[in-house]
Structure 1
C-alpha cells in the first residue's frame, strides 16, 4: 500500500484509540462520529432484534437494510451499532437525498468499525436498489431509484462487507517522555502470536500498564501519547505508548468527613494506613474495607487527592454517611429434625455517639416430639422435657476506646437448650478487650462466668465456671459470605481453674481454619478447604456438662448427618458428645454462569471420647452436591448431602437438604 494511505490509517487509528472511556469498536465509532457516548452504545436500541420497517408512505422513503458478508457475530453487532442506516431504519428520511447522506456517512464509520476489530484491509460497499454507490453519477442514479419507490414499496438497501484478514498485534513498546524504555514486567509488553490488533486489546493493555505503575506507587501515572502503526504487508500493528509515570508518592493525611452523630475518632481507629506508608491502590482499597466494619456507617467513599501535599504525600479523603441507628428484625424457621423456631432482635448501632452497639436477641424453639427420632430414647433415659427451649442474650460493643484500636465487648445470656440427647439450663456473661493490630489480625482476652446444669443419659451435672478466655483471629479473605481468596484462622484457649471457683476445673481449646484458592483470574472455579479442632481436658466425660462437650454433624459440620449426633454413643443409643473434635471439608465452587454455580463437596470428622483425637474411633464421611445462586448480597446455598459410612446403630436419613445464605464456610 502507498505510504500516504498507510500513514492516514495509522493516524486515524491513533485518534480513535485516544478515546479511553469508550472501549472497543464503539470507541472508534463514537470518536469518528462525534456522537454522545450513550448513543454510541445504544444499550436499549434495536440491535438485539429485528423489527419490521415502517410501511411505504408518500411523505418519506422507508427502507429495508441488509448487512451481509460478516461472519463474526460481535463484529456484526459493532457494525450495526455504527451504521446510521441500521440505527435509524425506523425513522425513514423524507427523500432520496437523505437516504444517500446516511449511506455516505456510513462509509467511513463502518470501515473504522472494521479497523476497531482488527480488520485493517476490510472494505464496505453500498447498494441502493440496483445502484452501487461510487461517484457522482451513481449517487444521482441512486437518488432517482429511491424516489421511484415512493409510496409503492420499501427501498432496498444492501451493505456488503469484505472483512479481509484479521491483523495481529505484533509489538508493544512503552517509553517515557524522553524516549527511554520504562522498566515494566515483561508480561505487560509480551504479545502472543495470535493476539488480534483490536482497539479493545490495545486499550486493555494500556490499562494494565497504568495499573502496574500505580501499584508501584505512582498515583498520577498516565499515557500521554499512543502511536499505532499498521503494517499491511505483514498484516500486523505495532503500538508505542509514551507514558508519564508521575511522582512516586507516599500516603498523606487521611481526612474523615461526613460524620454527624458519630465521633470521627471511631472511624479513624479503623484506618490502619499511616501517613508515610507507600501509596498503592490496594492501600486505598484497604482503607475502605476496614472503615466499612464500623456498624454505624452506611456508605463509605475513599477519594485520592488530586495533587501531592508540600511533603510530597498524597492526601486521602474518607467521605461517610451514617445509617439509621435502630434495627429491628424477626425470623422463623422449621426443621424436620429440630422442629419450629422463631427469633427476634433489636439493635442500636450508635448508642452513645461513639459507635457503641447494643443488641438484644430472643430465640424460642420447640423440639417437637412427633418428628423427633430421639424423643422416645430420651424418655427411656429419664430426660423429661416438654420440648420448649429459648435464649435471651444481650451484646454490647464499645469500639475504639479513647480513640485507640481497643474495643470493649460485653455480653450476658440466660436460656434453656433442648437438644436431641440432652437438656441444659444456664446463665452467664463475659467481658473482654479486643485489640486490632490490623484489618486482618486481632487478639482478645477477658473473663467469663457461667452457671447452670445439664442433664443427659450419663446423668445430671451442676456446674459453675469462671474462665479467662484468650483468642486470636486472622482473616485475609476478600468477602465474608463468598470468599474467593485468602485465609481465615481463629483459635481460642479458655482455662476454668478451680482456684477461681470453677467446678469442675477445665481447659477448653478450639481452633478452626479455612483457605480459598481461585484457579482462574475471574475466580469462576475456587478450591475451598476447612479444618476444625477442639479439646477439653481437666475432667472426665461424665463430669463435663453436655452443653460444653463436642458434637459433630449438621449443616455447619458434617453435612448428611443429623445435627449434633456424630461422636460417642451412650446408653439408649443416645449421642453423649466428646472431649475432642476433628472435622474438615473440601469443596470445589464452580460457576456455570454469572448467577449459577455447582459445588461438589466432601466432609469428614467426628467427636472423640478422649481429650485428644483417637483415630481408633471411626471417622464419618459424607459427600454431596450443592447449588449456588449468586445475588448482590451473597450466594443462596442449597446443599444435598449423603452420609457415606453412618453408624448402623443410629437412624440417619439417607439424604439431607440444607438451604441458607452464604457459603458453608
Structure 2
C-alpha cells in the first residue's frame, strides 16, 4: 500500500519541478534563439514572426536596445505563431517537438533551442477555371502558366491571394471591370495535395465611355487629352488608366492626377472616365542654404515658370554658390513631346566657375538633350554640348604645364549617348530597387574643338531591405578615357577623380589617385569605385550606417589593377528630413598604416 503513495509523491514532485524550473526562467534576458529542423523556412523568417528576440553586447551597448526578458505566456503565443506561419506556408502538419532552455542563473540570461518537425507540405495537384453563365473567355487558359500556384507548387496562403489579384486584374484589362473571382480548395490529406478551382463571374464586357476633366484652370484640355492612351469605344483596360495617369503627371504641371472609372452600374456597356487634377503654381521659387565638407557653405535659388510660351513648356533659372563653384548659373528650357510623344527636348545655357583641388576653370556654353523612355523602365538620351573653357594655368600641376602645350582657352564640341534605368524608391531614402546607367561621351566634333577623346562609363546601385529594417546598399562605378590626340592630353575637368563625400570616403575630395611630385591631384584615365553600406534605424528619426569603400584611379586607359585598390571603412549617422537625410560620416583608410580620419557633413546619402 505504501508503493502507490510513493509513486504519486514522485509524480507530484516531478510536475512541481518542471513547472517551477520553467517559471524560474521568467524575466531572464534572452541571449539566443535557435531552430533545429527548419529545412524550408529560415531562422530569420521565423524570428520575424515571434515577440521574443535575442540581444547581445553590440545591441545593448552601441544600439542601446532594451533586452527582451523571457515570459512563459508570451513564449506559448510565440510557439503558436510559428506553427501558424508554417501552416500558411503549406505545412499544415508542422509541429514543435522539443524546446530546450539553457539558463545562466548567475547572469540571469537564457538561450532557447526550438526543434521543429516540418512534415510534408501540401502541393497543388490541379488548377481549374469555372466561368459563370457559360461565358467563354479563351485567353484565360493562357493565364495558368503565369500563376504562382501551378501544378507541383507548394501551397502558400500569400500566393493564392496574389493569384486572385492577378486573375482579377487580367480580366479587368480584358474589358471586364465588374469581374468577381473566388476559389475553392479540395485538400487530399492522404496525398498531401490540393486541387484549386477558380470560380469567376466576369460580368459584362465593357468599353471606355466619355472622358470628363476637372481641375484644369490654366492648362488646356487638349494638352491633357493628348496624354490619354485610349479612345471612347475601346475595350476597357485598367492598365490604360495607369499609363495615362503617369503620362499626365510627367508633364510636371500638376500636383495631383487622379483617374477613376465611374463603375456605378454593372449593366452599363460604356464606362465613363473622370480625370481629376490639381495644378501646380505657374511660378515657383526655391531657395537653398547648406553646408558640406566638400562644398563648405552653399546657397542656391531655383525658379520655375510652368506653361512658358503656352502648353507644357517650362523655363527654369538656377544659380548656386559654393567653394567648389563660386558661381554656377544655368537657364533651362524644356519642351515635352518634341516631335514624338514622350520625347523631351532640354536646352541648357550655362556659365560656371570651378575651383577643384587640382584646377580652376571658367566654362560657358550650351547643351541640347533629347530624352525618351524606350522599354522596361529604361530611358535613352542623346546630348550635344558646346562650351568654351578658360583654364587658370597657375592652378594646375607645374609638371604637366611643362610636359604639355596646354592652352589657356579652348573649345569643346561633344556628343553623349546614355541609357538609364531607375527603379529605386523612395527617391530621397531608397530601401528597394536599383539604378543602372551607361554613358558614352565623345569630344572633338568640329567647331575648333581642341581635344579629341572617348569616355565610356557605367554605374550600378542596388538597395535591399533585409530583416528589422536593415538596408543593404551597394554601388559600383567604372570608366575609362581614350585620347585621340598625339600628346594624349585629357582636359583636367574631363578626367576621373576619386575621394570625397560621395566617393571613397577615406580620402578627401580628389585626393585618391594620381598626383604630381608636389602632391597635387591630376586625375586619371581609368576609375573603379565600389561602396557597400549597411543602414539601420537607431531611434526616432536617427539612423546609423557602417560602410566599406574601395577603388582607385589610374593614369592609363583600360587600367584596373586589383592589387592597387585602396580601402576605407567607417561609421555614420543620418537624420531624416523631408528633403532627404542629413548625414555625418567618419571614415579612415585601412591597410595604410597611420592615416587621418576623414569626416563629411552633407545632405542626402552617399549614393
Q: TM over 0.5, yes or no?
A: yes
Q: CA deviation at 1:287?
A: 4.6
Give distance in 2, aligned partners of 1:543 and 1:275: 61
Question: Does structure 1 residue 654 correspond to structure 2 residue 591?
Answer: no
CA-atom RMSD in angstroms = 4.9
Structure 1 contact 256–320 (Cα < 8 Å) conserved: no
Q: Give 3-state SS (helix, strand or coil) of 2:326's partner.
A: strand
Give distance in 2, aligned partners of 1:621 and 1:274: 58
Counterpart selection for 2:480 from 535, 541, 560: 535
TM score, norm. by length of structure 2: 0.62
- Show the counterpart of 1:664: 606
Give distance in 1, aligned partners of 2:549 and 2:533: 9
Counterpart selection for 2:583 from 638, 652, 655: 638
- Show the counterpart of 1:346: 303
Give distance in 1, aligned partners of 2:475 and 2:206: 38
Question: Does structure 1 residue 294 correspond to structure 2 residue 251?
Answer: yes
- Show the counterpart of 2:337: 400
Give a deviation string over 1:262-310, Cα, whole Å, max 9, x none. 2456556666789999988777555544543322211111323427999
Give distance in 2, aligned partners of 1:438 and 1:624: 39
- Show the counterpart of 2:63: none
Give a deviation string over 1:426-468, Cα, whole Å, max 9, x none. 1111122223335822222242111113231133543211112
Structure-2 change in CA distance of 1:438 and 1:208 (3 Å): closer
Give distance in 2, aligned partners of 1:309 and 1:226: 22
Q: CA deviation at 1:527?
A: 3.2
- Show the counterpart of 2:509: 563
Q: Give 3-state SS (helix, strand or coil) of 1:468's partner.
A: strand
Q: CA deviation at 1:424?
A: 0.7
Give distance in 2, aligned partners of 1:254 and 1:480: 35
Structure-2 change in CA distance of 1:468 and 1:338 (3 Å): closer
Give distance in 1, aligned partners of 2:374 and 2:269: 27
Runs of 5+ consecutive residues of structure 1 not aligned to the other structure:
1-70, 76-169, 196-200, 229-239, 368-387
Counterpart selection for 1:434 from 371, 396, 399: 371
Give distance in 2, aligned partners of 1:617 and 1:541: 29
Q: CA deviation at 1:574?
A: 0.8
- Show the counterpart of 2:525: 579
- Show the counterpart of 1:608: 554
Structure 1 or 2, whichever has the larger Rg, is 1
Q: CA deviation at 1:409?
A: 0.9
Give distance in 2, aligned partners of 1:461 and 1:311: 75
Give a deviation string over 1:534-555, Cα, whole Å, max 9, x none. 2223248883221221111122
Structure 2 contact 291–601 (Cα < 8 Å) conserved: no
- Show the counterpart of 1:443: 380
Question: Does structure 1 residue 257 correspond to structure 2 residue 213?
Answer: yes
Structure 1 contact 256–268 (Cα < 8 Å) conserved: no
Give distance in 2, aligned partners of 1:279 and 1:519: 39
Q: CA deviation at 1:394?
A: 1.2
Question: Does structure 1 residue 421 correspond to structure 2 residue 363?
Answer: no
Structure 1 contact 270–439 (Cα < 8 Å) conserved: no
Superposition pairs of residues 117-156 of structure 1, within 5 angstroms? none
Structure 1 contact 525–588 (Cα < 8 Å) conserved: yes
- Show the counterpart of 2:14: none
Give distance in 2, aligned partners of 1:451 and 1:280: 52
TM score, norm. by length of structure 1: 0.57
Q: Give 3-state SS (helix, strand or coil) of 1:450's partner.
A: strand
Structure-2 change in CA distance of 1:616 and 1:430 (3 Å): same
Give a deviation string over 1:141-161, Cα, whole Å, max 9, x none. xxxxxxxxxxxxxxxxxxxxx
- Show the counterpart of 1:489: 436
Count the aligned residue pairs.
460
Q: CA deviation at 1:567?
A: 1.3
Structure 2 contact 328–353 (Cα < 8 Å) conserved: yes
Give a deviation string over 1:96-147, Cα, whole Å, max 9, x none. xxxxxxxxxxxxxxxxxxxxxxxxxxxxxxxxxxxxxxxxxxxxxxxxxxxx
- Show the counterpart of 1:361: 318
Structure 1 contact 221–244 (Cα < 8 Å) conserved: no
Superposition pairs of residues 158-557 of structure 1, within 5 angstroms? 210-218=164-172, 220=177, 244-247=200-203, 255=211, 257-258=213-214, 259-264=216-221, 267=224, 285=242, 287-306=244-263, 317-366=274-323, 389-401=326-338, 404-437=341-374, 440-454=377-391, 455=393, 456-457=396-397, 458-459=400-401, 460-462=406-408, 463-497=410-444, 499-519=446-466, 524-536=469-481, 537-539=483-485, 543-557=489-503
Give distance in 1, aligned partners of 2:570 and 2:239: 37
Structure 2 contact 528–560 (Cα < 8 Å) conserved: no
Structure-2 change in CA distance of 1:625 and 1:328 (3 Å): same
Most deviating of 568-577 and 618-627: 618-627
Give distance in 1, aligned partners of 2:509 and 2:547: 18
Q: CA deviation at 1:562?
A: 0.9
Most deviating of 400-409 and 537-546: 537-546
